[in-house]
Chains A and B, each alone.
Chain A
Amino acid sequence: MLNLFQSQLTVPLLLAEHGVSPEAMPLAGFVTNSIFVGLIVLGIVYWFVSGATKNMSLIPHGKQNFAESVIEFLYNQVESIVGKKVAPTAFPLLATLFLFILVSNWFGLLPGVGTIGWGEGTGALQVSEVEKPLLRPVTADLNATLGMTLIVFAVWIYLTVRETGVWGFLVHTFGPKGGLKGAMGVVMIFIFFAVGLIEVFSILLRNLTLPMRLYGNIYAGENVLHTMSAMAGNNILLKILFQLPFYFMELLVGVLQAMVFTLLTSVYIKLSTEHDEHGEEHH
């Protein structure tokens, strides 16, 4: 069974292969296989973005045209969900989430990711099972998905406070709605306070659901691919036949999970900032 729960210290292992002790390069000591892939994804993004925005002109060249169409599509989607006012602030984070998760998910499908590494040797360049993969999908590491979620949570708090204020948020969350007066009004105050507590709990719970959903899907996908490969034994044709349908499925899952993470974040932002926007519309 592939050990994807634990991040493996890729760089120290690589260094150890070449007889370099981890103490010799202390800064590289924390570079796990998923962080290593994260850095590669970062490099890919930087490479593409640099090419797309180099010598920009009103008549776009190929890469610029592609980047513009993607960013324009994403911006329109974000704007349609969070609204015109919040979109300029929220868009960079939401678009980064989508692109980073998408590239990371798809990078995980490249041959060699999760399948090349260290394990019990069975021959020349052969192991019975990869116990410590050299490369591991970023989004199959809970540290990465949780890290993104914490950033999302911080931005969500900032946008909510900026748009509605602390008092506005408290009123929006705990305040009684419906305009009932008298004894029913008092009862409703308690009910809505309890609802507010549940709402706060659900908001805090997002920090668990968001990262676990992404992590679980990608981790499961990796495991499915490895299981399919293992089921085929050493028959290359069977390995291809067994894995191919799941590769297409994982391509789809990669996009879907990127969309789900981004859309949920957009909806969370919209839900907490829409009160103010409605107020503006009424005024």
Chain B
Amino acid sequence: MNVILAANQFGLSVPNLIAQIIIFLIVFFILKTKAFGPILAMLEQRKQRIAEGEAKLEKISKDLAEANANAQAILDKANADGNRLVKEADESAKALAEKKQQDAIHEASQILAKAREAAQLETDKARSELRREFGRMVSDATSRVTGKVLTTDDQSRINQETAAQVSL
């Protein structure tokens, strides 16, 4: 009885208590369904997005490092290939130049030899003609001096003797 009296003094009453419980439960229900649920889900979603973003960023960094390494490897390889090609081209050019030089020398030698040969032939031909001319002049001079008409044999013998004696 004392408890009931004390409760009444503090204004406790079962209908009011139930009403306040119902109000609190309604607030609880509203907050749980309209605030805590959606907002915690949103926070979780954002957390996941951030984690995904971080993972992607890490992957991108890794890919970038790999791409840089690949690019560097390709550059190194291209550099090496370029150097090798330049070196090969240089060597090839030198060899070609050498070959061309040799060919040119050889050709020049041939041209020179041919020229010499031709000159020799010309000289020989001129000498021969000169000798024949001397022979004819000697035959002619002999014929005039002796007043004798020289036979073909005489002319041939005089020509041979003259050719033998003329050193050209």
Contacts and interface: CB of A to CB of B under 8 A. Distances in A.
A146 interface: yes
Q: Is the interface of A mostly helix, strand, loop or mixed?
A: helix
Nearest to A140: B11
A143 B20 contact: yes
Contacts of A151: 21, 24-25, 28
B23 A53 contact: no
Interface string B31-44: 11011101110110
A25 to B, nearest CB: 15
Given A68-B39, A151-B24, A49 B12 contact: no
B16 interface: yes
Interface in B9-59: 9-13, 15-21, 23-28, 30-32, 34-36, 38-40, 42-43, 45-46, 49
A53 B24 CA distance: 20
A93 B19 CA distance: 18
B30 A147 contact: no
A75 interface: yes
A42 B30 contact: yes
* A68, A75, A150 pick with most chain B CB within 10 angstroms: A68
Contacts of A198: none
A30 B20 CA distance: 11
Classify chain A's interface size: 35 or more
A218 B19 CA distance: 20
Interface residue SS majority, chain B: helix
Contact of B11 (A31, A53, A91, A143): A143
A71 B36 contact: yes
A34 B19 CA distance: 10
A30 B16 contact: yes
A181 B32 CA distance: 49
B119 to A, nearest CB: 101
Interface stretch (A94-102, A232-240, A249-257): A94-102
A244 B36 CA distance: 35
A6 interface: yes
Say which size band chain B's interface belongs to: 20 to 34
Contacts of B10: 5, 142, 215
A60 B45 CA distance: 12
Nearest to A31: B19
A50 B27 CA distance: 12
A116 interface: no
A93 B27 contact: no
Contacts of B43: 68, 71-72, 75
A58 B49 contact: yes
A150 B45 CA distance: 35
A100 B31 CA distance: 10
A30 B31 contact: no
Nearest to A60: B42
Contacts of B32: 92, 96
Given A49-B30, A99-B31, A141 B11 contact: yes
9 contacts: A32-B16, A56-B38, A58-B49, A60-B42, A64-B39, A68-B43, A141-B11, A142-B11, A146-B17
Given A30-B19, A68-B43, A215-B10, 7 more contacts: A32-B16, A34-B20, A71-B36, A71-B39, A92-B31, A146-B17, A147-B20
Interface of A: 5-7, 30-32, 34-35, 38-39, 41-42, 45-46, 49-50, 52-53, 56, 58, 60, 64, 67-68, 71-72, 75, 91-93, 95-96, 99-100, 138, 141-144, 146-148, 150-151, 215
**6 A-B pairs with the lowest CB-CB distances in the bound complex, closest first:** A147-B20, A147-B21, A143-B16, A144-B20, A38-B23, A92-B32
